[in-house]
């Protein structure tokens, strides 16, 4: 008994000792974690102070483009411009298909056509945000994205705009009694004057269906400059997002500015339709290649593309018709001298390939952010409005196939067979069949979009609107894919056009993808450790793209397909007292730069002072920074690559080391 009692006491003592040891370790871990949090916060504060004080606002990276400081937006009518007559020729209603860029460009063309035909415009119906897409009942199609009242009131001196057809005409429209036209984006003004106008006068109502991102040629005859300026007034003034979108967009910009340093906006341009159109499938892997090829086959079947299904994507990339990958953009920005702590805002509601495409960019830059970094889920949900609950998309497995059917399919497969099904003993998880790409392993036909898919398409319009506002306010903008050669407007080109209009001297890169593809190919094996001459070539090209050379190329390649991407010179004037170009740049007999008219005196007085202050500010900013060419030269003499020394600089500035 005595022995058993001693054992009990020993066991109790060991238990108490273990409990005390556990409590001691927990207290140590708690104090260590508190110290770690404190040190992290202090490091963050130190980094912020370092960022603000040691050249992160270098004029070489963030300064204004001085040669464009004299360009000023000026869309006022130049000649006798009459207000719209109350006795119009009739009503024009329109259905607009497509994404954010197509919608914005199409609305501008619609207003110009209504002015040309002296017609009353009914608010366009945006098909991506119709009630059938499952949007909130608070909105109609146009008001889901834009401010109706602002649009109507701003254009009252240009075009009569009404919210809907008169009641006595609605029934006739439902019975399809009015003529309907499907114009192309390159339709000439003569098409409307000769074919559409007679029908409008006879029927008093016509309908337009727009699929191509526009309905009027981009470059109009010189006698129609007033219509071009009307396009600018619509795109840059009348088309305001609804107040809730504007408020949240401004909050995102304010939260970005609260970091105390400039930021660069980057739009990758990786959109499935665009990639399929240009044959860039082989730049991706696995299922993404199959998805692009499927969409390309659809385009060939519809006659949108008149090429072979399989093309050499590498050659397309070398020709500049494929986008710059985020990894390549990161290397180019590092070669320009942007430090690793630079804030890069990734814009765009669609990033084909998913977040894994941004992994190399995040490895090069610590502060790669997007709208989700500054918006809570509640803020975004309030933007969408109250929405009804959609029925669940219950998964229905496809009918099982016999062994003979599977064998026949395998024998008929081409040089790139479908992936083998999983082994019988492996469980088939539900998420593997319900993913947005799961159908590619089961069938050759993409399923119809579900109600939730259609609702998400409408949500993307609002997400693109938020990113559009942030890109306009960014200190610098870099497009991953613009001027793609198709007839569709693209997000990046619209941003570049409005940045040119609102602030011509802002830093907007206009890279030549073909030239950069050759540069990247020449250093593909040492992409992260390029030589001295390579970095100098990148810097020279990107700096030129900011100035006159990039602007001229934009006029040549972008303006013929989208006027809003390059509204120069129709929507501009120049202050002669500030630095002006001493030569004219012409292309095909037309002056594309340097022939802007002089700003009126009432405008020059105020703008002159602002431009001079801007130039003086640009001279003062970054005077203590070392010139990038001198940096590269000293690094070359030391036997290191330029990027290696940039990394060394960042490590020296890290207070934790």
Q: What is the pLDDT of residues 101-136, one digit of tens each?
A: 999 999 999 999 999 999 999 999 999 988 777 888
Taking alpha carbons only, the member of 139, 239, 214, 147 closest to residue 458 is: 139
Q: What angle do CA 458, 463, 466 make, to 5 degrees?
A: 135
- How far is residue 238's CA from residue 148's CA, in Å, rounded to a whole number? 9
- Measured in whole angstroms, the distance separating CA 606 from the mean position of its chain's CA atoms is 33
Mean model confidence pLDDT for the chain: 82
Q: What is the pLDDT of residues 143-190, one digit of tens each?
A: 999 999 999 999 999 999 999 999 999 999 999 999 999 999 889 999
Q: What is the pLDDT of residues 342-394, one digit of tens each?
A: 999 999 988 998 888 999 999 999 999 999 999 999 999 999 988 888 776 55
pLDDT at residue 242 greater than cutoff 80: yes
User: Predicted confidence band at 253 (pLDDT cuts at 50, 70, 90)?
Assistant: very high
Taking alpha carbons only, the member of 492, 502, 484 closest to residue 572 is: 502
Q: What is the pLDDT of residues 181-217, one digit of tens each?
A: 999 988 999 999 999 999 999 999 999 999 988 999 9
- How far is residue 567's CA from residue 559's CA, in Å, rounded to a whole number? 8
What backbone phi and psi angles, to 5 degrees, belong to 87?
Answer: -95, 80
CA distances from 383 to 79, 250, 387, 462 (A): 42, 13, 11, 8
Q: What secondary structure does DSSP assign to 546-614, as a single string?
A: HSHHHHHHHHHHTTTT-GGG--TTTTEEE-TTS---SS-EEETTEEEES-PPBPPHHHHHHHHHHHHHH
pLDDT of residue 483: 76
Q: What is the pLDDT of residues 607-651, one digit of tens each?
A: 555 555 544 544 444 443 434 434 433 433 334 443 344 444 444
Q: What is the pLDDT of residues 559-608, one digit of tens each?
A: 888 999 999 899 999 887 655 565 667 666 677 787 788 888 877 665 55
- How far is residue 565's CA from residue 105's CA, in Å, rounded to a whole number? 10
Query: Whose structure tokens read 């009990």?
Result: 8
Q: What is the pLDDT of residues 638-648, one digit of tens each?
A: 344 433 444 44
Instruction: Sketch the domain layout of the chain as residue ranges.
Output: 91-240, 245-270+323-384+455-572
SS3 155: coil
DSSP 206: E
């Amino acid at each position: 008994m005595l022995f058993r009692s001693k054992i009990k006491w020993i066991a109790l003592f060991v238990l108490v000792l273990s409990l005390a040891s556990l409590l001691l370790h927990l207290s140590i871990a708690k104090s260590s974690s508190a110290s770690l949090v404190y040190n992290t916060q202090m490091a963050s504060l130190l980094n912020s102070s370092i960022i603000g004080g040691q050249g992160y606002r270098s004029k070489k990276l963030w300064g204004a483009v001085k040669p464009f400081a004299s360009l000023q937006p000026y869309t006022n009518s130049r000649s006798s411009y009459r207000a719209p007559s109350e006795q119009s020729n009739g009503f024009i209603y329109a259905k607009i298909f497509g994404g954010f860029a197509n919608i914005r460009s199409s609305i501008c063309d619609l207003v110009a056509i209504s002015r040309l035909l002296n017609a009353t415009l009914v608010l366009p119906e945006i098909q991506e945000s119709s009630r059938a897409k499952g949007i909130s009942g608070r909105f109609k199609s146009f008001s889901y994205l834009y401010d109706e009242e602002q649009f109507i009131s701003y254009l009252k001196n240009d075009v009569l705009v009404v919210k809907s057809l008169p009641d006595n005409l609605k029934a006739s429209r439902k019975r399809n009694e009015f003529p309907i036209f499907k114009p192309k984006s390159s339709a000439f003004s003569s098409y409307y004057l000769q074919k559409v106008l007679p029908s409008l006068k006879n029927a008093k109502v016509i309908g337009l269906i727009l699929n191509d991102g526009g309905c009027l040629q981009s470059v109009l005859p010189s006698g129609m400059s007033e219509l071009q300026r009307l396009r600018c007034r619509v795109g840059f003034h009348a088309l305001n997002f609804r107040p809730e979108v504007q408020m949240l967009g401004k909050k995102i910009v304010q939260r970005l500015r609260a970091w105390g340093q400039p930021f660069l906006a980057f739009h990758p341009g990786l959109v499935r339709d665009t990639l399929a159109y240009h044959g860039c499938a082989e730049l991706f892997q696995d299922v993404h290649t199959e998805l692009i090829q499927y969409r390309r086959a659809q385009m060939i079947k519809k006659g949108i593309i008149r090429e072979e299904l399989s093309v050499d994507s590498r050659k397309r990339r070398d020709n500049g018709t494929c986008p710059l990958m985020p990894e390549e953009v990161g290397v180019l920005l590092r070669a320009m001298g942007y430090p690793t702590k630079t804030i890069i805002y990734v814009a765009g509601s669609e990033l084909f390939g998913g977040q894994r495409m941004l992994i190399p960019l995040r490895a090069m830059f610590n502060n790669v952010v997007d709208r989700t970094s500054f918006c809570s889920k509640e803020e975004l949900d309030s933007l969408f409005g109250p929405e009804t609950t959609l029925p669940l998309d219950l998964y229905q497995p496809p009918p099982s196939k016999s062994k003979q059917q599977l064998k026949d399919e395998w024998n008929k497969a081409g040089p790139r067979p479908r992936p083998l099904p999983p082994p019988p003993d492996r469980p088939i998880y539900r998420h593997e069949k319900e993913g947005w790409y799961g159908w590619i392993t089961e069938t050759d036909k993409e399923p119809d979009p579900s109600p939730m898919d259609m609702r998400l398409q409408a949500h993307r319009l609002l997400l693109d609107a938020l990113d559009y506002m942030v890109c306009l306010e960014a200190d610098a903008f870099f497009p991953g894919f613009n001027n793609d050669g198709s007839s569709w407007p693209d997000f990046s080109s619209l941003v570049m056009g409005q940045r040119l209009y609102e602030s011509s001297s802002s830093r907007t890169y206009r890279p030549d993808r073909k030239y950069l593809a050759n540069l990247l190919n020449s250093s593909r094996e040492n992409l992260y450790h390029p030589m001295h001459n390579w970095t100098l070539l990148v810097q020279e090209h990107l700096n030129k793209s900011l100035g006159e050379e990039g602007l001229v190329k934009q006029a040549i390649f972008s303006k013929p397909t989208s006027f809003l991407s390059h509204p120069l010179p129709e929507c501009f004037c120049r202050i002669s007292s500030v630095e002006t170009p001493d030569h004219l740049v012409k292309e095909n007999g037309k002056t594309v730069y340097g022939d802007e008219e002089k700003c009126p005196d009432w405008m020059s007085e105020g703008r002159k002072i602002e431009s001079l202050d801007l130039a003086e500010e640009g001279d003062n900013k970054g005077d203590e920074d070392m010139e990038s060419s001198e940096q590269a030269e000293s690094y070359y003499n030391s036997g290191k690559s330029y990027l290696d020394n940039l990394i060394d600089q960042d490590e020296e500035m890290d207070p934790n080391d």
